[in-house]
Amino acid sequence: MSLIDPLCSNPPPRRRGRPALAKTKVVRDERALGLHHFAFLRSVILGLDLRDSFDRYLAWSEPLSDLRIAQARFDHLLSEVLNSGDHINAALPDEQKITPLLQLLRPLLKESTIQTTPAPSPAVQIPTLDEWVLQESIDLDFFSEAELIAEYQGAFGLDQPQDGGEPPDTASDLVHGIFSSFSAENRPHERHQNAAINSPEGAGLGDSVKRRISALNRLESHLAALPSPADQLGLWFAPGVSARLASLGLLSLQDLVHYVNVRGHRWYAHARGIGQKKAQQILAWLSQQSATWDIALSSAVVLPQQYQAIERRNLLGAGTHLVLPPVFGMVPLERLVLPFDLDGRRGVFRSQQPNTLDANTDLEAINAWLAQHQERAATVRSYRKEAERFLLFCSHVLRKSLSSATAPDCLQYRAFLMQVPQDWIHPMPVRRDDAMWRPFRGQPEPSSQKQALVILQAMFEGLRNANYVVANPFQTVIKGFNLPSSKVDLDRSLSQAEWRFITDQAQRMPDTAESRRLRLLLDLLVSTGLRLDELANAERNDLKLVNVDGEKNQAWILDVVGKRRKRRAVPIPSNLPARIDAHAADAIAAHFLLLSAQTKANASDTVERSDSYLGGSPTESTETRGAPLIYALNMSVAQWGDGLGKPILELPDLGPLPARLSSSGIYRTLKRFFQRCSLAALSAGLEPAHLQSASTHWLRHSFGREAAVSGVPIEIISQAMGHASLTTTSIYLTQERSRMIKELRKMHTSIGATDPPAN
């Protein structure tokens, strides 16, 4: 590229089109004319501040880095309105022509033309940076100031040294405008933006503005389009913004609403180039539009859940109860109201005799049946989930009551589970009183489909035994289902190399109460095969010393209440009880600090209580009655509970002893640790994704595998793990599978079907 000689009196004519070195894609703007566009035009015609008008009506859809860009946007929109008006005008009959309206607005294009800053040198007709941006339709969203200046300099050779020297000073003189402040006489909002408004020439000026506003309003009724959920983002957003959203897989407005609802109030974190302010502007516009759509923004999007909790707490503190009205819709059982023809009073299979559940409707019968299992919280949650889904299916899909469901309806429900509609799914966890709550978090796996059908069969059997219904529609149908067999995935366990790596990572952690508890959890679960709930509910008094036949020393066992309320004794390694007591001492010390800070209790009294707890046999101390095996080391946060249909903020209660660590607390503690291990797994030659997926149940599978590999008899493994059948335990006998592979490999080699294995 030849250099431009600033001393040349006859510079070569500028080539038409884009500069030779320009790299920016010129995207054709095909946005629709919306109500916000007319509002922007109206405010500018009325003489309101240009920047304020842009920020109020257009900032959500496009960027603004210079006021002259806003002025150019005004001219462009007004030109679109006039061109579209001309097209409509040509098709209208003579008596309906809108020619006077267009004639009133057309002069505004000439009156608001930008007077650009002249070039520094009359001999060099190089456009200013502002002019160049406007001429080339450059999207400012894609460039920083430095990148834009580099593009501009490269386009006109201003970055090339002349005669071996530095780039000409002309470049620094020209590069002022879009990203720099400009003089008062060139500021559009300080110039007369609308000559028809600000001209001091006549008393009838106000009437002229009114006529133009009236004309614009008439054209708005003809031209303004209303956003629809199916509209492409490019119809409403600037090309740069829509391109960023498209990089997230978002193509339409409904895609954007669903994405925002799933991601929450920080949905923009994964959208490069969209910050918090822009995200808030987009949400404000979406909130206005979605009021008339079938889809709506979740309340958690506008306000984070923790802030909502604070608001609820403040309301409850002021004595105001938050009572959500029952409704008929896609809502949980506790909020569901069924109309008379769907509530089961006239169910086809309703018994005409009194029932032992004392229920008059299907919803009352389900709640009474769930109450029979209230001692098992996990069971109630699982049963409620499946009953809730089937009841909503009956009322919203079948349009019949649950007590009218037939065997073909059960078949239809099974097909429904195999392909759940998207509007029944919300993948992110939300509160059950949230408007975005849905019965499903994702497409159920085949094993989950089987569990759902088995639970529903048990529910109908319970309703029939209680004389609420006279038939069980799942009784005969479920026998014909091709249900998947229960199978434990042995890959969801830790190999010996992974276990060594995990224990090494745990040992490397600083020696704190939290790290000691973490190591205790790992060793307890992998050496006993306990289930998560079994460990969370275990108490210190359940740990006992027993005699062993033929041995002088005693052994430790833990009495556990497992599934179906079955008790079993689980052997415990001899070094763990001392570590359990050390963990209790850590928990009491931490609790003492919290207690003294809150109540300023006597430190010596608390210390004496700690000593009495740790001293002597645990079975002889009344202080250990009900003491958990695993403690929480920090005070729990306030939780929302249900008080007779009203949300109640349950503050943590600091009792005389620290609280137990819940099942979810144990799960999250280990899950966070496994995720940290996955970050260092690659350097140890391990698969990071495998360790990242690890959970508490993986340690139970690891126990079963290691016990089988060590030659422990299958009946002993089954008894220790609390299996109801040896068939379940037999999956851990992987050495038989390995033996089969090795023996058959010999036959494969003899017939030439495979190469001999490398030793």
pLDDT surpasses 70 at 107: yes
Q: How far apart (Å, rounded) are the C-alpha atoms in residues 274 and 5?
A: 42
Cβ burial, residue 120 (10 Å; 0-12/13-18/19+):
middle
Report the range of poorest mean pLDDT among 87-101, 613-627, 673-687.
613-627
Query: Between the CA atoms of 337, 341, 344 and 346, what dihedral angle is there, to the nearest 10 degrees?
Result: 160
pLDDT surpasses 70 at 319: no
Q: What is the pLDDT of residue 362?
A: 95
Query: Between the CA atoms of 665, 669, 670 and 671, what dihedral angle is there, to the nearest 10 degrees?
Result: 90
Output the DSSP codes for 440-477: BSSPPPHHHHHHHHHHHHHHHHHHHHTTSBS--THHHH
Secondary structure element (H or E) that encloses residue 560, with its range: strand 555-561
Task: Report which of residues 375 and 137 the model is more confident about.
Answer: 375
Of the pLDDT bands very low, low, confident and very high (cuts 50, 70, 90), residue 16 is very low
Residue 106, both tokens: 């057309």
pLDDT surpasses 70 at 268: yes
Residue 178, both tokens: 């879009």
Q: What is the pLDDT of residue 364?
A: 94
Q: What is the pLDDT of residue 651?
A: 54
pLDDT surpasses 50 at 164: no
Q: How many angstroms separate the most distant Cα atoms in the chain?
A: 117
Instruction: State how beta strands 567-572 and 555-561 pair.
Output: antiparallel
Q: What is the pLDDT of residue 489?
A: 59
Report the range of poorest mean pLDDT among 120-124, 275-279, 292-296, 482-486.
120-124
Q: How far apart (Å, rounded) are the C-alpha atoms in residues 23 and 328?
A: 57
| DSSP three-state, residue 34 | strand
Of the pLDDT bands very low, low, confident and very high (cuts 50, 70, 90), residue 709 is confident
Q: What is the pLDDT of residue 189?
A: 36
The 555-561 sheet, strands edge to edge: 543-546, 555-561, 567-572
Task: Report which of residues 160 and 686 the model is more confident about.
Answer: 686
With a CB cutoff of 8 Å and minimum separation 6, the contacts of 210 are none
Mean pLDDT computed over 602-629: 48
Most confident of 338-342, 371-375, 587-591, 735-739: 338-342
Of the pLDDT bands very low, low, confident and very high (cuts 50, 70, 90), residue 383 is very high
Closest residue by Cα to residue 453 from 386, 375, 370, 523 = 386
Q: What is the pLDDT of residue 721?
A: 81
Q: What is the pLDDT of residue 187?
A: 33
pLDDT surpasses 90 at 185: no
Report the range of poorest mean pLDDT among 33-37, 372-376, 569-573, 601-605.
601-605
Residue 112, both tokens: 């608001």
| DSSP three-state, residue 570 | strand
Output the DSSP codes for 574-606: TTHHHHHHHHHHHHHHHHHHHHHHHH---HHHH
Cβ burial, residue 435 (10 Å; 0-12/13-18/19+):
middle
Secondary structure element (H or E) that encloses residue 414, with its range: helix 407-418
Q: What domains can be seen in the chain, in order of their start residue?
A: 35-223 (no CATH), 233-302 (no CATH), 333-480 (1.10.150.130), 496-717 (1.10.443)
Of the pLDDT bands very low, low, confident and very high (cuts 50, 70, 90), residue 276 is confident
Instruction: State how beta strands 543-546 and 567-572 pair.
Output: unpaired
Task: Report which of residues 453 and 65 the model is more confident about.
Answer: 453
Query: HEC profile for 632-663?
Result: CCCCCCCEEEEECCEEEEECCCCCCCCCECCH
Q: What is the pLDDT of residue 507?
A: 92
Of the pLDDT bands very low, low, confident and very high (cuts 50, 70, 90), residue 287 is confident
**Residue owning tokens 């609403």:** 257
Q: What angle do CA 18, 24, 25 make, to 5 degrees?
A: 90
Q: What is the pLDDT of residue 412?
A: 93
Mean pLDDT computed over 460-476: 92
Contact status, residue 610 vs residue 582, Cβ threshold 8 Å? no
Q: What is the pLDDT of residue 192?
A: 35
Report the range of poorest mean pLDDT among 317-321, 410-414, 719-723.
317-321
pLDDT surpasses 90 at 309: no
Of the pLDDT bands very low, low, confident and very high (cuts 50, 70, 90), residue 754 is low
Mean pLDDT computed over 694-716: 82
Q: What angle do CA 488, 493, 497 make, to 5 degrees?
A: 150
Question: pLDDT averaged over the chain?
Answer: 74
Of the pLDDT bands very low, low, confident and very high (cuts 50, 70, 90), residue 398 is very high
Residue 127, both tokens: 């456009």
Mean pLDDT computed over 114-135: 49
Closest residue by Cα to residue 409 from 467, 458, 349, 352 = 349
**Can you give the pTM of this predicted structure?**
0.51
In angstroms, the Cα distances linking 500 to 341, 382, 505, 532, 712 are: 62, 35, 9, 22, 21
pLDDT surpasses 60 at 144: no
Closest residue by Cα to residue 157 from 274, 47, 22, 288 = 22
**Residue owning tokens 């405008």:** 177
Mean pLDDT computed over 428-443: 82
pLDDT surpasses 90 at 690: no
- pLDDT tens per residue, range 488-546: 556 678 888 888 999 999 999 999 999 999 999 999 998 888 888 888 888 888 888 88
pLDDT surpasses 50 at 190: no
Of the pLDDT bands very low, low, confident and very high (cuts 50, 70, 90), residue 163 is very low
pLDDT surpasses 50 at 40: yes
- pLDDT tens per residue, range 296-307: 777 667 666 555
pLDDT surpasses 50 at 3: no
pLDDT surpasses 50 at 620: no
Q: What is the pLDDT of residue 2?
A: 39
Phi, psi of 544 (to 5 degrees): -135, 155
Quick one: what percent of the chain has pLDDT higher than 70?
68
Q: What is the pLDDT of residue 637?
A: 55
Closest residue by Cα to residue 279 from 247, 295, 255, 301 = 301
Report the range of poorest mean pLDDT among 142-151, 185-194, 513-522.
185-194
Of the pLDDT bands very low, low, confident and very high (cuts 50, 70, 90), residue 632 is confident
- pLDDT tens per residue, range 221-240: 888 888 888 888 888 888 88
Q: What is the pLDDT of residue 424?
A: 93
